Amino acid sequence: SQQGEEDPQALSIQEGENATMNCSYKTSINNLQWYRQNSGRGLVHLILIRSNEREKHSGRLRVTLDTSKKSSSLLITASRAADTASYFCATVTYTGNQFYFGTGTSLTVIP
Amino acid sequence: DTAVSQTPKYLVTQMGNDKSIKCEQNLGHDTMYWYKQDSKKFLKIMFSYNNKELIINETVPNRFSPKSPDKAHLNLHINSLELGDSAVYFCASSLGGYDQPQHFGDGTRLSIL
């Protein structure tokens, strides 16, 4: 399956610390996206990074993509309690016609 | 002002029943999706649909069928519900295809007794 695998499965940090989560996938991609899901809510799109890009920033979020290693990472700097959520990567295959979510990382930020 | 709204939020029903979940988006998007999220939070796309094409995930049983009365609505109809259908179902929409960010509803939690 193309479904991405994320690690760690769960991460617990203190407020103010940085959180890094990783996503690995299996086949060539067109783009990779990161989403956040708060408990009991739908997913919220965070960042989209295309296969020809290596790094993108949005506020306290930094996403990197290494297509040679078929992996991506999401860094959240200066974490806040409100960042507590599950984070999912999602890959779009090179042909653009298939879409898969990763297994997710559950982040807990302790105030 | 809700961008993607689903109803009902909770659905509890007996095995063997037929049920529908409604989804509406007011974003002017032309592609809508249905996802299933299981108890381990695995998300799987079930359908993607725009006014030109319906793409069905081949693993989805044909008891599940999407129905789109217009561009802003994509309802999910499920026949002969089974215990394994218990999950949270999410509707989403995007402007264009998979290379665009998707906007999600808050989900419908389906419980089969």
Q: What is the pLDDT of residues B28-43, one digit of tens each?
A: 999 999 999 999 999 9
Instruction: Write down the pLDDT at residue A97.
Output: 77
Instruction: Write down the pLDDT at residue B53.
Output: 81
Q: Which of A30, A41, A101 sits opposite B43 (nearest CB)?
A: A101
Q: Provide the strand spans (E) within chain A.
A: 5-7, 10-14, 19-24, 29-37, 43-50, 55-58, 61-66, 71-76, 85-93, 99-101, 105-110
Does B9 contact chain A (CB < 8 Å)?
Answer: no
Instruction: Name the residue among A90, A82, A63 with its Cα closest to residue A74.
Output: A63
Residues of B in contact with A86 (CB under 8 A): 41
Band (B1; pLDDT cuts 50, 70, 90)? low
A10-54 residue pLDDT tens: 999 999 999 999 999 998 999 999 999 999 999 999 999 999 999
Average pLDDT over chain A reads 94
Residues of A in contact with B105 (CB under 8 A): 42
Assess whether pLDDT exceeds 70 at residue B110: yes
Assess whether pLDDT exceeds 90 at residue B75: yes
- Contact between B10 and B108 (Cβ < 8 Å): yes
Q: How far from the centroid of its chain's Cα atoms is residue A87's Cα?
A: 6
The residues with which B66 forms a beta bridge, in sequence order, are B76
Judge if the upstream peptide bond of residue A8 is cis by omega within 30 degrees of 0: yes
Does A52 contact chain B (CB < 8 Å)?
Answer: no
Tokens of A26: 């299996």
SS (H, E, C) A76-102: ECCCCHHHCEEEEEEEEECCCCCEEEC
A58-94 residue pLDDT tens: 999 999 999 999 999 999 999 999 999 999 999 998 7
Tokens of A20: 């890094």
Q: How far is B48 from chain A (nearest CA, A)?
A: 10
Instruction: Write down the pLDDT at residue B6.
Output: 97
Neighbours of B49 (CB within 10 A): 20
Residue B98 to residue A92, Cβ atoms within 8 A: yes
Residues of A in contact with B43 (CB under 8 A): 43, 88, 101, 104
